[in-house]
Structure 1
Amino acid sequence: MALDKRTQFLKRRLRVRNKLKTVNAGQLRLCVHRSNKNIHAQLIDDAEGRTVAAASSLEADLGVIGKNNVEAAARVGTALAERAKAAGVEGCYFDRGGFRYHGGIKALADAAREGGLKF
């Protein structure tokens, strides 16, 4: 029986997240969420249960409200890297969730790396 797209996504998300949590215990997590209209990224400290820095395409100062394309993802990644530097964060691990690593997800990761985050 073939699995539908949602079930494949959920299985992929659990597989990625469980492996990352065991390998990178104690580090901050760069979590990415993508919808049809927007893209969001957060740096999360799982030990304390708090968000250290966040950026989203919903923010007016980024100039990409309501867009989910490669340009918007790159701006979100750059903004997140700047906010992480301001919070004193240099390293993290990249949690792409169940999203495939191409297009906007890849652009966000590359922009965050260029901004100074190490993962």
Structure 2
Amino acid sequence: MSVKRESRLRRARRARFKMRELGAVRLSVHRSNQHIYAQLISGEGDKVLASASTLDKELREGATSNVDAASKVGALIAERGKAAGVTKVAFDRSGYKYHGRVKALADAARDGGLEF
């Protein structure tokens, strides 16, 4: 495993430990070169309450690896989260910088009604 990936996972582990301690529902983000994924995970960490990604049928058309696609995923996860009865979440950026696609997803989720 590369040093860069190990460092990212170490940062993610530290943040997740604190979120688990607080028992907060977390909005977890994963990004790859081609896609971006978001999940709402229960406070105990045992259940996925809602998920959205650029692999969803309604988001597949067009580019899937840019800021616009990430914004659409953020709006979709907010909509699905509210349908599942979730409004307050902790943002788990998985060790990624709060920048670019991760920031676009977070901003869209906030605009959609999730509080964090």
Query: Could you say whether these structures have the same fold, taking a TM-score greater than 0.5 normalized by the shorter chain as the test?
Result: yes
1:61 corresponds to which letter in structure 2? E
User: 1:82 maps to which residue?
Assistant: 79
Determine if contact 2:63/2:69 at 8 Å carries over to the other structure. no
Determine if contact 1:58/1:64 at 8 Å carries over to the other structure. no
Cα distance, 1:64 vs. partner? 4.5
Distance 1:67 1:89 in 2: 26
Unaligned runs of 5+ in 2: none
Q: Structure 2 vs 1, CA of residues 48 and 18 (structure 1 numbering), >3 Å: closer, same or farther?
A: closer
* Larger deviation, residues 59-68 vs 4-13: 59-68
Distance 1:47 1:18 in 2: 11
Equivalent of 1:104, from 95, 101, 116? Answer: 101
Q: Does 1:71 pair with 2:63? A: no
Cα distance, 1:27 vs. partner? 1.9
Cα distance, 1:67 vs. partner? 1.6
Unaligned runs of 5+ in 1: none
SS in 2 for 1:42: strand
Distance 2:37 2:114 in 1: 17
* Larger deviation, residues 108-117 vs 63-72: 63-72
Give the alignment's TM-score, normalised by structure 1: 0.87
* Larger deviation, residues 66-75 vs 103-112: 66-75
User: 1:118 maps to which residue?
Assistant: 115
SS in 1 for 2:44: coil
Percent same amino acid among aligned pairs? 50
Distance 1:109 1:75 in 2: 11
- List, as ranges, runs of 4+ consecutive aligned residues in structure 1 with deviation greater than 4 Å: none
